[in-house]
Amino acid sequence: MGYLDTPYIKDELIMNKIIYLLTTLLPIALSANTIFINGAIYTVDKNKLWVEAVVVDNKKISYVGTTKKALTYTLKNTRIIDLKGQFMMPGIIDAHTHIAIAALLLNLGVGIKNKGKRNILKQISQYAQEHPQEEIISGFGFYPFSLGENGPTAEQLDSVIPNKKVFLISNNGHSAWVNSKTLHYLGISSNTKDPLPGMQYYMRDSNGAPTGFLVEGEAFWPHFKKMNIATPGRFYKSLKSFLPTLSKYGVTSIFDAGIPAVEENAFLALQKLEKENLLPVRYFASHYIVSDKDAQHSVKEYKRLKHLYDTKLLNINAVKFSNDNSSNDNFAIQFDTEKLRNYIGPLLANNINIMIHTTQDASVNQALNALEKLKKKYPKSKSRISLAHVNMVRQTDFYRMNNLNIIANIQPFNAAGNGYYEYKYMLFEAWEKKLVRFKTFFDNNITVSASSDFPACDISYEKCTPFLNMEIAVTRQKVGTSSDAAVLSSSQEKLSIEQIIQAYTLNAAYQLGAEKSLGSIEAGKNADLIVLNQNLLDVNEKKIHKTIVNMTIMNGEIVYEKQ
C-alpha cells in the first residue's frame, strides 16, 4: 500500500492538496543543490586530478568538471559558491584516533601537559583543588618514566590527593596511574594475579605489593570501566564539545581505533548526537580486544555491536588488536602466532576488517606470519587488514606486506623524532636509521593510510592536526624549525605532498572499505569537501602546518565556516 492509498486519507479535498504539494514543492526540495565554481580543486582522482567546479546534490557529488558545465545544473534554489581560486580537496580522514576516550579525559579531567615529577604532581593537585565537586580525579597525558625508572607510584599521588580516588591514563594510552585509595577500591593487592605476566601486569615493589602503575590493556581498562568515569552522559557532553574541533581542521571522517571496555557507552552518546544533528563527522569505530576472552568472542561481539549501533554516520568498522607492549623495554607480545591466527581466522571468514597494533619489528613480523597462512585459507575474504604504527619493519617484510595486501597505517608525527621516540626502547642502534620508513612503503606499492593517533600525538589536537602531520611527513623535521634543521633517519624517506594527501584521503577510505563513497572528489561519492587558504601542492613545505580551513562540508552540509 502506497502513501496515497492509505485508508486514513478519505477527504478528497485533503487528498488533492497533498497531491499538489508532492508534485510541486517536493521535487524542488529533492533537487536543491550547491555549486562550487572557479576553484583550484584537487580531486585525488588520478583520472581527473584538477577541476574548476563541483556540484553537490542531495548529499552527493553529482558533477565534477568545468565552471561552465557546472552552472548548467543551476535550479531556482541552488546555492552558488564562488571559490575565487581557493584550494579545495576531499575531506580528511583521520584513520587512527582515540577521539572518544581523549574527549572524555581531556574535557572532563586533567590534561597533564607538564613533564618532571614535581610539575606533574603540582598540576594534578591544582586540578583537584579547582574541582572539589569531583569524586574521582581522572585525566590523561603523563609520561610514565618521567616519574621514576619503574614508572609512577600510588605514593606519589597520595602525597597530593590522599582522600579521593585518582585514575590517570598515560600519554600513549597503554598504562594507568592510580593512588592507594583507588587500589583499595579496585581490590588490587599483593594477592592479585597479573592478567598476563610480562605483558599486562601490575608493577610491584620488592615485596610484591602493587605500586599503582597498571601496565597494558587488561591490567587497567576493565578497572577504568569499574570506576564509572565513562558514562554515556559524560561521553555525550565531552564529544559534543570536542567534535567541532575536527571540522575546524578539515576532518570529515575518523576511525576510532579503540574505546576499550566502555565502547558501548560512547556509541550511545554518538547515536544521540546524530539524532540531534550534532555529529559533524563520519565516525568509524572499532571493537577493541583487551583479553583472550574478547578475542575468542570477537566475531559474535562485533556483529552484536554492529546490529545495535550502526547508523548513517556511525559505523562499527573493524576489530582492533593491541598486540605489543608500548610501555617498556621488553616488547612483550600479547598473543603468540598460533593464538593470533586462531583469533583472526574467523574474522577473515566473516569479512570483518582488522587492525593490529604493531609498533616494533617482531610484532610486525609475527602478524605477517599469522596472516600468511590465513590469506591462503581465506583467499576471497573482503576484510581490510591494517598494521598500525609499523615504525620498525624488517626489510623482507615490506615485500610480504605488499604480497598480502596489508595496509600500513602510519602516524607522521613520529618522523619528527618525538612521539614514541621519547621512549628509551626506540633508541636501539640497530634501528637508528631505519625508523618510520614511510616512502619505502610507497616504493613497495603498499597502501599507506595516515592518522594522528590522537591523543598519543599530543594532548592538544591543535598540535597534531592533519596539516602539521603532512608537513612532518614531507620534511621529517620538527614543525617550526629551519630548513637546515636535523632530519630524522634518512631524508630519502620523505614523502611528496601528493603521497601524504592520498594517505589522508583515498587510502584512508580504502582502509575502512569505503573507497567507493569517500576519499576523492568524484561524481556519485559523498560530498565531503574542504576549502583551504593555500594550495598544498604549491606552498613552501615548511608552511604546510600554517594551513587554515576556510570551509568544511560533510555529507553535503557546511559544518564549519571560518568567520
Q: Which residues of 309-329 are buried (b: 16+ CB within 10 A; e: fewer)?
A: beeebbbbbbbbbbbbbbbbe
What dihedral angle (degrees, nearest 10) is formed by the CA atoms of 353, 354, 355, 361?
-140
What pLDDT digit, counting tens, does each position of 503-551 carry? 999 999 999 999 999 999 999 999 999 999 999 999 999 999 999 999 9
Q: What is the crossing angle of helices 99-107 and 263-275, to 10°?
A: 90
Give yes or no for a contact between 450 and 510, defined as CB atoms under 8 angstroms apart.
no
CA distance 480 to 418: 14
- Identify the pLDDT of residue 327: 52
pLDDT at 243: 98
Q: Note whether 94 and 86 are within 8 A (CB).
A: no
Predicted local confidence at residue 169, as pLDDT: 96
What are the boundaries of each domain within the chain? 99-226
For residue 113, give Cα distances in angstroms to 76, 121, 135: 53, 11, 22
pLDDT of residue 21: 42
Q: How far is CA 533 from CA 69, 86, 217, 274, 543, in A?
A: 25, 6, 42, 29, 12
Rounded CA-CA distance 435/475 in Å is 15
| Whether 507 contacts 519, CB under 8 Å | yes
Residue 293 CA to residue 253 CA, distance in Å, equals 30
140 strand-pairing partners: 111, 169
Residue 25 is predicted with a pLDDT of 40
CA distance 301 to 299: 6
Just give the CATH number of 99-226: 3.10.310.70
Chain segment 265-285, per-residue pLDDT in tens: 999 999 999 999 999 999 999
Residue type, 331: F
Tell me which residues of the chain have a pLDDT lower than 70.
1-32, 326-331, 417-429, 432, 489
pLDDT the model gives residue 437: 94
